[in-house]
């Protein structure tokens, strides 16, 4: 049986392979979720900190060099209108 850690490593590899199949390089990711229990300092935070560390290690193994995060207190937020059409600009 495959472990959950291996599942997540495979997901990261799949994203990376897909991006790189278009001749791009996957070196930066963002919004690696920080669980609310960590932000609030709840007793259950330690297991979520362990999960977060595992995610960072898995991204590092995939040679992701920059991980953008935010520790916005209480809930995460979005910096775009969710009703707007998205425009993606890829620079090669």
Task: Summarize the confidence of residues 7-17 as an average pLDDT.
Answer: 88
Domain boundaries, the chain: 4-68
- The answer to whether residue 92 scores a pLDDT higher than 50 is no
What is the tens place of the pLDDT at every residue in 28-66? 888 787 888 888 889 999 999 998 898 889 899 889 888
pLDDT band per the 50, 70, 90 thresholds, residue 6: confident
| pLDDT reported for residue 66 | 87
Q: What is the C-alpha to C-alpha distance for residues 71 and 76, in angstroms, rounded to an integer?
A: 8
Supply the pTM of this predicted model: 0.66
Residues 41 and 60: their CA atoms lie apart, in Å, by 26
Residue 68's pLDDT is 81
Alpha carbons within 13 A on the beta-carbon side of 47: 2
């Amino acid at each position: 049986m495959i472990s959950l850690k291996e599942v997540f490593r495979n997901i990261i590899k799949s994203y990376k392979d897909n991006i790189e199949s278009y001749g791009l390089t996957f070196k930066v990711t963002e919004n690696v979720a920080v669980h609310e229990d960590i932000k609030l300092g709840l007793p259950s935070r330690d297991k979520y900190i362990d999960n977060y560390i595992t995610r960072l290690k898995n991204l590092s193994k995939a040679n992701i060099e920059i991980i953008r995060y935010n520790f916005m207190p209480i809930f995460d937020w979005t910096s775009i209108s969710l009703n707007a059409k998205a425009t993606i600009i890829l620079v090669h």
